[in-house]
Amino acid sequence: MKCQTAVVYERTVDDRTLTLGNLRVLVDRAMAMYDTETGSSWNQATGIAIAGHFTGTQLNAIPAATTSLGAWLSSYPNSGVLAPTAKFTRSQRIRIWDPSEADRMLLLVRAGDAARAYPLTRFPESGLLLDVLGGEPIAILFGRQPKVLAVYSRRVGDDVIELDARPVTEDIELLERGGRRRWSAVSGRSRPLRSARPLRVLSSVPIERIGFEHNFAEVEVYGGPLPPLAERRSGTNATVPSPVMPAAPLDEDEQRGGAPGIPSPSAPPSTPAPPPSGGDATGGCR
């Protein structure tokens, strides 16, 4: 199950810090998560609890950038990096930068209460798309070389600025049109540092089209409704259900909350709240 929907959530809800896990089941073509504290099940794409104590509650999404490590470290040289494990693998194809998958991936952007989805096929060659979402002027960067995915507000102080994009070493520079200010597309920080206010990062979620259509039917699509998907070769169809959900092996020393079936003293329900109808263990994500 590889939904490739990159979202970072704050996992404190009502002053309770939750420990989230992968329930290894799909709900509405999105990964279902589970928290050990209340046994609630959560839709990973929307962040909304679908069963259990927190039903209807939504996790707060934290702005994050998806990019290469080199680009990230060029903006944050002192950044920590999650250490690899023995099972660390680079074999996974990242679909968002795979040209053959462009018609199946969208970028969901939120600004305040407003949301809009941007099909990757509708980005200009430069990768920089300027728009206004819910009254907020925004800049969406889907850079292919170097790979950078980030969304910013174009409101800097009292100014609303237009931007152009220019690739530089390990980054893409956002240039103020008709001005002299420059920012890193990875971090939103000015270049050179502190020469201007940083750009405000907005929440963005790369999401597969089938997951988007199941979970965000009410969200407007930039450029109008999506055309029907073209037929794919057998073996690459994302809707082919897998008969058995692969259960990835665990790193024992990384496992928390007790081994499955042996609840730790603090781990409450040993049985996850079953996802509501619509949950399945079949395809949609690969």
Partner 1 sequence: MQWSAILVAAALRQEPPAPEPPLPDTQRRAPAPRRQDRRLGHPPTFVEPREVIGRVAAQRAGIGGDELVIGVQIGDVARAYPIARIALDEVMNDTVDNVAIAVTW
Using CB under 8 A as the binding rule, the residues of this chain from 174 to 233 that contact partner 1 are 186-187
Q: Which residues pair with 205 in a beta bridge?
A: 108
The answer to the question of residue 283 lying near partner 1 (CB under 8 A) is no
Q: Which residues pair with 206 in a beta bridge?
A: 107
Closest distance of CB 180 from partner 1, Å: 25
- From its phi and psi, is residue 278 left (phi > 0), alpha (psi between -120 and 50) or beta? left
State which of residues 57, 58, 94, 176 lies at the interface with partner 1 (CB under 8 A).
Answer: 94
The answer to the question of residue 3 lying near partner 1 (CB under 8 A) is yes
Nearer Cβ to partner 1 (157/260): 260
Nearer Cβ to partner 1 (81/230): 81
Closest distance of CB 54 from partner 1, Å: 14
Closest distance of CB 162 from partner 1, Å: 25
State which of residues 28, 51, 54, 72 lies at the interface with partner 1 (CB under 8 A).
Answer: 72
For the four alpha carbons of 28, 116, 47 and 98, in that order, the dihedral sign comes to positive
Q: How many CB atoms lie within 10 A of CB 161?
A: 22
Nearer Cβ to partner 1 (5/153): 5
Nearer Cβ to partner 1 (211/221): 211
Q: Could you give the CA distance from residue 24 to residue 202 in angstroms, rounded to a whole number? A: 29
Closest distance of CB 9 from partner 1, Å: 5
DSSP secondary structure string, 118-156? EEGGGS-TTSEEEEEETTEEEEEEEEETTEEEEEEE-EE
Q: Could you give the CA distance from residue 225 to residue 72 in angstroms, rounded to a whole number? A: 34
Closest distance of CB 121 from partner 1, Å: 21
Nearer Cβ to partner 1 (90/233): 90
Residues 234-253 contacting partner 1, CB under 8 A: 244-245, 247-248, 250-251, 253
State which of residues 14, 15, 56, 90 lies at the interface with partner 1 (CB under 8 A).
Answer: 90
Nearer Cβ to partner 1 (15/125): 15
The answer to the question of residue 68 lying near partner 1 (CB under 8 A) is yes
Q: Which residues pair with 116 in a beta bridge?
A: 109, 220
- The answer to whether 152 and 165 have CB atoms below 8 angstroms apart is no
State which of residues 28, 29, 32, 119 lies at the interface with partner 1 (CB under 8 A).
Answer: 32
Closest distance of CB 225 from partner 1, Å: 28
The answer to the question of residue 98 lying near partner 1 (CB under 8 A) is no
Q: Could you give the CA distance from residue 72 to residue 185 in angstroms, rounded to a whole number? A: 10
Closest residue by Cα to residue 187 from 140, 136, 150 = 150
The answer to the question of residue 170 lying near partner 1 (CB under 8 A) is yes
The answer to the question of residue 260 lying near partner 1 (CB under 8 A) is yes
Residues 4-23 contacting partner 1, CB under 8 A: 4-12, 17-23
The answer to the question of residue 255 lying near partner 1 (CB under 8 A) is yes
- The answer to whether 171 and 185 have CB atoms below 8 angstroms apart is yes
Kindly list the distances between the CA atom of residue 112 and the CA atoms of 6, 151, 226, 231, in Å, as whole numbers in the listed order.
Answer: 19, 13, 24, 37
Q: Could you give the CA distance from residue 261 to residue 219 in angstroms, rounded to a whole number? A: 40
